[in-house]
Every structure is written in structure tokens, then in C-alpha cells.
Structure 1
Amino acid sequence: MDEKPTTRKGAGLCSLRYGLALIMHFSNFTMITQRVSLSIAIIAMVNSTQHQEPASMSSEGPLTDPLGNWSRNIKDFSTRAAVYQWSTETQGIIFSSISYGIILTLIPSGYLAGIFGAKQILGAGLLISSLLTLVTPLAADFGVILVIAIRTVQGMAQGMAWTGQFTIWAKWAPPLERSKLTSIAGSGSIGCVCCVLWFTVIYDDPMHHPCISVREKEHITSSLAQQSSSPRRSIPIKAMVRCLPLWAIFMGFFSHFWLCTIIITYLPTYISTVLHVNIRDSGVLSSLPFIAGASCTILGGQMADFLLSRNHLSLIRVRKLFSSLGLLLPSLCAVALPFVTSSYIATIVLLILIPGTSNLCDSGFIINTLDVAPRYASFLMGISRGFGLTAGIISSTTTGFLISQDSESGWRNVFFLSAAVNMFGLIFYLMFGQAEIQNWARERTLTRL
């Protein structure tokens, strides 16, 4: 950008844009929870050590003890719990099916959100995903095919909800607050309650919000005055294909999602099989990396905007700094994991650091589309996440295959391969990443439809 963004503040933390970031935070937190809950539950669902009985026997005998012997009841319930004969490869397909669904709707939902507004699309996606989560346990009794189908449709709904967020931030986030606001919103990544809040208090842009203060409205509009706000009539596909800075962002997403998807989907399995932790403790331990990830996301956003507002680093240097930290640090942790399996504490620390440090990318290439092409941010975010989810599909399936061959060497190969993919994405981004608005993304006078 040729002109330096204004540093004038507008209502601070009590402003509507921070309230918007908070609601998006809970919405994203809900969707991430819906996505990873099966990863924890599947440990018990496929536990071959439990005694499996026919489904017709599950209703025999009372579920309550008149004498109050709850411990025996819990044990009896465990033995009656359904156990599904899903191989490691099948589990990999189940985990990756939600990514297939997200890919199907990323580009269409991003394009439609940019034209018609993101509020309705995001709210509908969150509601559908929440409802499908409720029926997933029932679907498992009807077979793995139905589970895969539901997870795919759930992914389509989440794709609708994920992509349109950047359409809203292109209109709500001042340039010097983009890292901060998007990191607050994405640090979680409630369902039906969030839908009520979303449809009630969220608006596509600040100009039409009935409760926004004049000061905050002026702050946002003056910060974005140098960017185009007119609706786009066409998408310069050819120019995008030839744009190396965009490919740098795409490769960053591909690398980032490769390792992150493995951690999201296979972390409970890794804790259970490698550390031999029971499912109750596995659920608790599996939550710690996500807490660290949320904390690092917010911290990274604050640091990035601080460096920009104080002119310590240029915008592109900030983007490349946080991209480097978010790809290099988790790679080092992943490479070290196979060598510390004998140490329970060291393994847990590394597992916590991987998603924590990975989320520093949120202030790097993940929001870089807002810098290089704010007019097409939502559409390009769909493309970017498409690359990332493709990596997630490949990594989930590959992980299931590798650990099915041999657990010890399989996990080692999984982490080594992930580190190599991260390094490829980092080198590519450092070489070709930019932060200036591209010529094809600037405002032009429209001569034809």
C-alpha cells in the first residue's frame, strides 16, 4: 500500500469489531470442537479390547442399580458400548472425509459471500454443522458409509462458515488491526447459541450496523478508504494463476495444514497408543495443545500488530517472520518427537508446542490475502484453504497407512515427512511472498459486465 494506514483508534476493546471477533471466536471454537470430537471418541469406538456383544443384547438388564452400585453400572455400560470394526485405514478415510466436504464449498461459498454478503452463509453453515454433529452417534450404528457421508456434508457446512469470514474482515478490520482481530476470531476454531448471536447482532459491513458509534465507523472507513469497496463483477483468474505471491500463500497453506491436520485428527490416537494413556486422561491431554494453540494465536496477533504500529518491521517482514516461526518451530518439535517417547513429560511438551507454534502462521501467510488482494480476499481464502485441505486429506490418509504397517517406524516417518513438507512451504513463501496490493486487485473502471 502506498499510503501508511491511519493509527487513529476507534473505541478500543469496547468496539463492535472486537465483539464481532469474539463471536467469531466462539463460532470457530465450536466448529473445531465438532471436528475433533470424533478423534477422541473413536479410541473407545474401535477399542478391540472391550467385550463386544450383539446390539440386541444392549437393552438387556437394568441400566440402574436399586442399591446404588454406580461403579458396577459404569463397568457394565462400558462392556455394552458399541465397538466398531474400523481399520486404521478406514479411520483415516473418516478423518479426511470432512476435508472433502470443505473443499467442495470453499470456492462457491467464498464467491457468493463476496457478492451477496457473508452473514447468512456463515450462520447457515454453523447451524447445519451443529445439527449434523448431534446425529453422528446414531449414524455410526447404521454403518461407516453413513458416517463418512455425514462428515462430508458437515465439512461442506463448515466450508461455508470458514470462508466468508474474510469477506467480513475485509470490511471490518483496519489494516493495523487485522492480525489482532483475525487471531482473536480464529483462536478457537455453543453451536446453536452462536447462531442466535450471529443472525441477531452481526452485519456484513459497519456502514449498516445500527449500533455502531460514529467514532468507530469513521475509524474503520478512513482506514480502508484506500482499498476498493465496490462489488466485483469478474475475477481475474489468469492474473491470479500467474501471480507468484499467491502461489507462495497457497504453498504455505498446504504445508501448514499437512501437520496441523495430523495433530488435530490423530493426537488422541497417538497419546493412547504411544503413551498408553486411558481415554479419560487422553481427552484431557488432547485438549492442552489446543489451549496452547489458542493462546499463541492471540499472542502472535498482538505481537504482529505491535511491530507494525510501531514501525519496527515492514508488513512483508512481519508476515515472513511469523510464517517462519509457524513452520520452522513445529517442524523441529515433530522431528524430535520419535526420540523422546521414553519420556512422558518431554513428549507432552512437544505435542503442546507443535500446534502452539504452528498457529503463529495466523499472523503470517494465513491473512496475507487481505494484503495482496483485499477485493478478492474471500474467494482467495477459499482457494488457499482448498490447498490446505488437500494436504489434510493426503496427510490423514498417509498417516493411517503408515501407522498400520508398523506403529513405531510409521509415526517416525509421519513426523519426518511433515517436517519436510513444512520446510518446502517455508522456503517457497520466503522466496516469493509479498504484501503489496497486486495490480490486478486494484480498483478499475468497469467498461462491461
Structure 2
Amino acid sequence: SHLALVLHFSLFVVYSLRVNLSIAIVSSVLSPPVDASKFCLLQAPVYDWSAKTQGVILSAFFYGYLFSQLLGGYWSGMFGGKLVLGYGLLATSALTLLTPLAAGLGVAYLIGLQALLGMAEGVIFPAQYTLWAKWAPPLERSRLMNLAEAGCTFGTFVTFPVAGIICQYLGWPYVFYIFGGIGCVWCVFWFLLVYEDPACHPCISAGEKEYIVSSLANQGSSHGRSLPLLAMIKSLPLWAISVAYFCNDWLFYTLLTSMPTYMNDVLHFDIRENGLLSALPYVGNWLGTIVSGLLADFLLSKHMFSTATVRKLFSVLGMMLPAVSLVAMSYVACDYTAAVVFLTLSMTVISMCGAGFNINQIDIAPRYAGFLLGVTNTFGTVSGIIAPTAVGFLTSQDLLTGWRNVFFVSAALNLFGLLFYVTFGSGTIQDWAREDTALQ
């Protein structure tokens, strides 16, 4: 659990660096009707970027992120998760410090920097899974991994108001200097506090070491250079996770990247005034992530259900309910409170997937957990690139019908992904992931 807490804060830092730009871009771009001097006590440079350019800047991150998922998983298997995650975080923090400089040099530099940032950050999640494959006993997996993952939401939730305040009082470049600086300092702690596997940790007791090592005994060691790629491509349980990632991330990224726009355009609601309400969905998600991990492990430890059943049960909760509440949301277009209730419900319940298909890679192939996370996250990232574009396309004509269609498409995709996962998902180690078959 020491590792879970360290990872919780590492992912907190990662996500605070990730959402910086989406907040700072609001202050760094000229908006016609507002007199900037009223808001900013210190004048920071302001750029004249069109909505289209802003879209390109924000999506450049995902292209880099997409590129390094598989590499991150592969490198983690070769060099260990500690090093890959530590250097990924260090690179992300250092590049964040350079953001205001890149913006000053020109928009092309900023787009390039964002792509590099995405590449640096893309190795972090696969590396995290590689560490968990060595540290998390099967019956504690859900709660430990979800405790770590909750750092993402916590980082987002804290950074939104804090970055807003920094923009207002110090100017937007300081958002990058402050959070980038925190990231660099945190890296020092990462390298000091984290050990690659229980065997080389000096502070844990012999009993605990023995418990972790014996519970993971039948999983095989790290994979080194070779990967059974053909067997992976043919593996239906792996396809099941990948399809679920694609469909669920579509809904998640729609909520994440397009919600501010929806609140503004359809609900005519100023996010700055009601910061608390727009933070509610994140608080729900943070709590839901931790609770679902505890619940899943409880069901597994009592041997009530098989691993596959637990993963599918949480996936049903985490994919079906948000789909239903999104469809409901499209019919309460003008009732702001109802919309926030449905949105909070969606973001809270979607966290159940964290104990569902989200961590299923480590059940079916612990030796390749980092690489498989890279594979499935690649599918998720592709939908992160397509979804905002689709939202723009669907809402370009008629706003209300457009947004209704956005919600319908997300809900339909989610239900398809759920069906596919429930049909083909598995909870047992696959033949191709066992040490003896991998050696042939």
C-alpha cells in the first residue's frame, strides 16, 4: 500500500501537468468581449489563436501519447517500471516548464512541445502496470490499483481551481512553472521511495515479502525482449478489453474534453462562477474509484465470484449506467441542476470500470501487463482523438439536436463495448502468457 500511495501522488502530479494547458489556454488567448486587465493583475502575453488552432494544440498531446504507449509497455518489461515511470515523469515535468517559452516562439513550437509531452507521459501508465504485476497480490489488486488511479481524478480536481487562481494573480505562464517545478521535485522522491520488486525493498518485513512473492509465484517473470505477438492478436479476451477501452474512453473523453463547452453553450452556465458544481463529478469519480476497488477485492477474497465475473459485473455497472444517464441528460437540456446530477452520476459510476475491464490485462497476462496496457490504452487514446472531432462535427449545425446526438452516439458505443466484453472477456491467465509456453 506504500506503493499505492506513492503512485497516487505520482499520478496526481501527472494529471495536474496534463490539465494545465486546457485551463491556461483560456487566459492566454484573446477573447473579444472581455477586457483582460480586469481579470489579470499582472499582464501575461496573450495570443490570437483561433478555436481551430486551439483544438490542434490540445489534440497534439494525444498524438504523442498514442505513439509511446506500446514503447512504454515494452521498455518497462525490459528495464523495469520504476525507471521508465520516473524518467517519463521527469521528462513531462521538464517539458512543462518550457511551455510558455514554446508559446512565445510560435504556435508550431507549442504544438511540437505538446506532442513531446504526450510521448513522455505515454510511458507512465504502462510502467505503472509493470510495477503492479510484481507488487500486487491477486486478491488486493483492485483496491491497490484503484487507489493509485484515483490520483488522476484528484489531480484534475485540485488543479482546476488552483490553476485558475494562478492565472488570475500571477499570469498563466506561472501555471506551468509551478506545476512543472512540483513535478521535478516529486521525481526525486519517486527514485528514493520506489523499488522495482519486493525482493530489493529494504524496509518491508520478510513475512510481507514472502506473502507477495508466493501469491505471484505462478505468474512468471518479466518478459525481456520477446513478445508472443501473434498469440496476442488472436486472443479474444484481449480484444474484449481493447474494444471496451475504445468504447468507454469515447464516453469518458467526451465528458472530459467537451463538457465545459456543453455547459457554456447549452446550459449557458459560467464555470468560473460555479466552480464547485463543475468539480462535483470529479469528487464522485475519485470516491467511486477507491470504493469500487475495495468492493471488488472483498468479493474476490470471499470467493463469492470468479475473477471474470467480478470484472464483468463492475464493467456492467460502469458502462451501462453512464450510458443511461447520458441519454437522460440529453432530455433535460435546460434544467441545469438535473444536468449536473446526471453528469456527476455518469462520472461517479464510470469509475466502476476501474475494477472491471480496466485492470483485466493483469489477470489474463501478468507477465505482459505493461505491454498489454499499452495495447489497450492505444485503443482508448484513438477514441480520445476521434471523440472531440466528432463532437465538433455533430454540434456544428443545430446545437440541441447535435448534443443529443453526441450523447446518443456515446451511449450506443458504450453498450456495444459492454456486450462485446461480457461475451469474450476472461479472468484467467491465458496459455500464451505462461512462462513455459512463452519459451517455446
TM-score scaled to structure 2, two decimals? 0.87
1:152 Cα offset (Å): 1.1
> Offset of 1:386 from its aligned partner?
0.4
Contact 1:48 1:83 in 2 (8 A): no
CA drift of 1:196 comes to 1.8
2:21 partner letter: L
Q: Answer whether contact 2:78 2:222 (CA < 8 A) is retained.
A: no
Pick from 5, 24, 48: which aligns with 2:7?
24
CA contact (8 A) 1:177 1:305 kept: yes
Aligned-pair CA distance for 1:272: 2.6
User: What is the DSSP-based 3-state SS (H/G/I as helix, E as strand, rest coil) of the residue aligned with 2:218?
Assistant: coil
**Corresponding residue for 2:156?**
none
Q: What residue is the counterpart of 1:438 in the other structure? A: 430
Write the distance in 1 (CA, Å) between the matches of 2:281 and 2:22: 14
Q: Is the 8 A contact 1:257 1:388 kept in 2?
A: yes
**Equivalent of 1:146 in 106, 109, 128:** 109
Alignment partner, residue 257 of structure 1: 249
Deviation of 1:424 (Å): 1.2
**Alignment equivalent of 2:18, drawn from 35, 39, 48:** 35
2:133 to 139, 160, 170: 170
Structure 1 pair 165–431 and aligned structure 2 pair: CA distance change class (3 A): same
Task: Choose 279-288 or 378-387, whichever is displaced more.
Answer: 279-288
TM-score by length of 1: 0.86
Question: Distance in 1 between the 2:410 and 2:389 partners?
Answer: 13
Is the aligned partner of 1:321 residue 2:321?
no
For residues 357 and 349 of structure 1, what CA distance do their matches in structure 2 show? 12
Is the Cα contact below 8 Å between 1:106 and 1:159 reproduced in 2?
Answer: yes
Which residue pairs with 2:46 in the alignment?
Answer: 82
Tell whether 2:191 aligns with 1:208: no
In structure 2, give the amino acid aligned to 1:27. Answer: S
CA contact (8 A) 1:43 1:268 kept: no
1:51-99 deviations in whole A, cap 9, x for unaligned?
579xxxxxxxxxxxxxxxxxxx645759987253322x44433332212
8 Å Cα contact 2:63-2:118 kept in structure 1: yes
Give the Cα–Cα distance (whole angstroms) in 2 for the partners of residues 405 and 282 of structure 1.
Answer: 28
Deviations 1:256-277 (A, max 9, x none): 1111112222222222333333
SS at match of 2:219: coil
Q: Give the Cα separation in 2 of the matches to 1:140 and 1:410.
A: 33
* Conserved 8 A contact 1:52-1:82: no
Partner Cα separation in structure 1 for residue 200 and residue 54 of structure 2:
46
Q: Percent identity?
A: 49
Q: Quote the residue 1:408 is aligned against.
A: 400
Paired residue for 1:92, among 28, 51, 55? Answer: 55
Q: For 2:49, give the aligned amino acid.
A: Q
1:64-83 to 2 correspondence within 5 Å? 74-75=38-39, 77=41, 82=46
CA-to-aligned-CA distance 1:129-163 (integer Å, 9 cap, x gap) = 22333333443344433332222111111111111
1:133 aligns with 2:122: no
Matching residue of 2:82: 119
Deviation at 1:36, TM superposition (A): 2.3
Partners of 2:217 and 2:355 in 1: CA distance = 23
Deviates most, 214-223 or 176-185:
214-223
Q: CA separation in 1, counterparts of 2:266 and 2:438?
A: 60
Compared CA separation, residues 446 and 182, structure 1 to 2 (3 A): closer
1:118 maps to amino acid? G
Deviation at 1:384, TM superposition (A): 0.6
* CA–CA separation in structure 1 for the residues paired with 2:190 and 2:108: 33
Does structure 1 residue 292 correspond to structure 2 residue 256?
no
Letter in 2 for 1:31: V
Cα distance, 1:401 vs structure 2:
2.9
Closer, same or farther: CA 241–144 of 1 in aligned 2, 3 Å: same
CA deviations on 1:180-210 (whole Å, 9 max, x unpaired) are: 0000000121423321221001011010011
Report how many aligned residue pairs link the two structures: 411
Structure number with the higher helix fraction is 2
Mapped partners of 2:13, 2:59: distance in 1: 19
Q: Check the 8 A contact 2:288/2:348 in 1, yes or no.
A: yes
- The structure that has the greater radius of gyration is 1
Kindly state the Cα deviation for residue 345 of structure 1 after the two structures are TM-superposed: 1.2
Higher mean alpha-carbon deviation, 76-85 vs 202-211, is at 76-85
* SS of structure 2 residue aligned to 1:434: coil
- SS of the aligned residue for 1:339 comes to coil
The aligned residue for residue 328 of structure 2 is 336
* CA distance in 1: counterparts of 2:276 and 2:149, whole angstroms: 22
**Distance in 2 between residues matched to 1:137 and 1:291, nearest whole Å:** 30
* Structure 1 Cα separation of the partners of residues 317 and 129 of structure 2: 23
